[in-house]
Homo-oligomer: A and B are copies of this chain.
Amino acid sequence: MGLKAGDAEKAFLEQYDPTAFDRPNNAVDSVIYTVFEGGLHVLLMRREHHPYQGNWSLIGGYVDLARDETLEDTAKRKLLEKTGVATPYLEQFYTFGGKDRDPRGWSVTTVYFALIPAQHIQLQANSGARETKWVALSEGGVGEKLAFDHDHILQKCTERLRKKVLYTSLPVHLMPPHFTLNELQDVYETIMGHKMDPKSFRRRLLSADILQETGEMRQTGRRPAKLYQLKQADETFFFTRNIEAAPL
């Protein structure tokens, strides 16, 4: 490709009309998980505007072409607005697109999921009067009809999370800075929906070499437990074998 082609491309771009063809509506939604009170919870927000005004939905909104450089920026911006949490664990899950999922027409939403430690919950009352709430998940769903196809998205996303917990260290991102192995095991069990053998669990997590002792102990009323923290560079660890799959 010589100079001539470059000039032609420049000319093309100068006369390019971005509104010439119909484009789908483009959103980013996040499924924000946390674990507390022995249950997996998801953050929802109440919709201020039509469509589905007043319904609960996942945390999301439109890409702001002027402010967001990437889709992940959009997810992070919305997250910060609704939860005040700046940099949780964030992973792209799936993109749903079709002509019927939004009454305004053809729409696309790229869905992320975030894991945030329960301690970080100090949301609500951020950014005006928008309401947000945590709801407990049972059987992968909340007991409520959400806006758009967010029920379906939540269901699928939770399936993915449950599956991924069987072979990764993902749940460490739901923990506070210091935690005991039993606390971490409780979080695994909560997500998986069944109990694990403590010996197997410890063997597995410690051999992954992603945790280090803080030197401190958690003083419960009983035998104190060692506190651990994530080693720096907390990349997700992938085990080469699954832990026993949850029964249904």
Contacts and interface: CB of A to CB of B under 8 A. Distances in A.
A60 to B, nearest CB: 14
A55 B12 CA distance: 16
Given A19-B19, A26-B24, A97 B63 contact: yes
Q: Give the number of copies in the complex.
A: 2
Interface string A1-39: 100010011001100101101111110000000000000
Contacts of A5: 53-54
Interface size class of A (residues with CB under 8 A): 35 or more
Given A51-B12, A53-B8, A108 B240 contact: no
A68 B108 CA distance: 13
Contacts of A110: 95, 97, 108, 110
A92 interface: yes
A242 interface: yes
Nearest to A73: B98
A143 interface: no
A24 B94 CA distance: 18
Interface in A65-101: 65, 68-71, 92, 94-100
Given A12-B51, A13-B50, A51-B9, A65 B106 contact: yes
A24 B65 contact: yes
B99 A69 contact: yes
Interface of A: 1, 5, 8-9, 12-13, 16, 18-19, 21-26, 49-55, 62-63, 65, 68-71, 92, 94-100, 103-106, 108, 110, 240-242, 245
17 contacts: A5-B53, A8-B50, A12-B49, A12-B50, A12-B51, A16-B104, A18-B105, A19-B19, A22-B65, A23-B25, A63-B108, A68-B99, A70-B97, A71-B95, A92-B94, A95-B95, A240-B241
